[in-house]
Amino acid sequence: MNVMPILIRREFWEHRMMLVMAPLALCVIYLVLCVLAGAKIDVNILQFDSQPPTSAAYLVVMHTAFTILLYLLMAVVAFFYLCDCLYAERKDRSILFWKSMPVSDAATVLSKLLVALIAIPVVVFVLSFLTNIVAFGVFKALVHARAAPSVVSDWTVGGWLRLNGYLIVDILVLALWFAPVAAYQLLISAAVPRAPFVFTVLPPLALVFGERLFFGTWNIGLFLGHRLGSVQFGPRMGHGVEGVIDAVNALPLLQRPELWIGAVLAAALIVVTIRIRRHRDDS
């Protein structure tokens, strides 16, 4: 029997407040804001690329903006999840129970990696997809009576589907891009005796400020900033709806050597993490 789906469900059950309730709460807040905005905003005064707004513009911009916001929230959630997941099972001694089960250390570590890099983004995508359909319907219904027909009738289904296709592919590409970061966090969570958050952030900060102190440069900080947040997918955003859609295409990252170098480094870190967990108990 394949235990990986069971292990992934276990992670969502044990961390349901972080992994399930947090994105659901944000979706509800977003829908409420859409109702308030639809009732108050005069869409005829809005402009998109110096042209009268269309439903295509609203649909794509609303979908992209909310999806990015939801991903940012879940990136914070994933950070704290990775800091705690392997440490918590030693702290509450549940590691003794799981080691008594026919579940390998490799499967346990890989399940936590997949939750952070694949499962959480998939949950975000599904919630964003469904929430944006409802939100756009609510927004469109509320502004319909006060907007010109061209504002609420001219929208492109194909462009919206292409946007979601890019977002699905982005999950796999960005999983490779952030794999070394997640693997590093899992290694710290499995190895340190206490305070995994401190041990996670302290070494990078020490390297950044140590370089600045002794060499007067910020090369390590710039590298970490690029790996963590300054991801430039491809060409800069173009004009109009098509430009917004193309801006979320992460496929050009596959052409970068640093992505594959990071993936190899992540694999090495995961091997070390599995070996550490294999010899750890509840201490």
Per-residue confidence in pLDDT tens, the chain, 283 aa: 578 888 888 888 888 877 888 888 877 887 777 666 554 544 444 444 444 445 555 666 666 777 777 888 888 888 888 988 888 888 877 777 777 777 788 888 999 999 999 998 888 888 888 887 777 777 666 655 444 444 444 456 677 778 788 888 888 998 999 999 999 999 999 888 888 899 999 999 999 999 888 888 888 888 888 888 755 554 444 455 566 677 778 888 888 898 999 999 999 999 999 999 887 655 4
pLDDT for residue 148: 44
Judge contact between 152 and 144, C-beta under 8 A: yes
Residue 6 one-letter amino acid: I
pLDDT for residue 213: 87
- What is the C-alpha to C-alpha distance for residues 262 and 269, in angstroms, rounded to an integer? 10
- What is the C-alpha to C-alpha distance for residues 161 and 170, in angstroms, rounded to an integer? 14
What 3-state class would DSSP assign to 47?
coil
Q: Taking the CA of residue 49 as centre, how many other CA atoms within 13 Å lie in the half-sphere pointing to its CB? A: 14
| Nearest C-alpha neighbor of 175 from the set 231, 233, 117, 228 | 117
Q: Taking the CA of residue 139 as centre, how many other CA atoms within 13 Å lie in the half-sphere pointing to its CB? A: 25
pLDDT for residue 118: 92
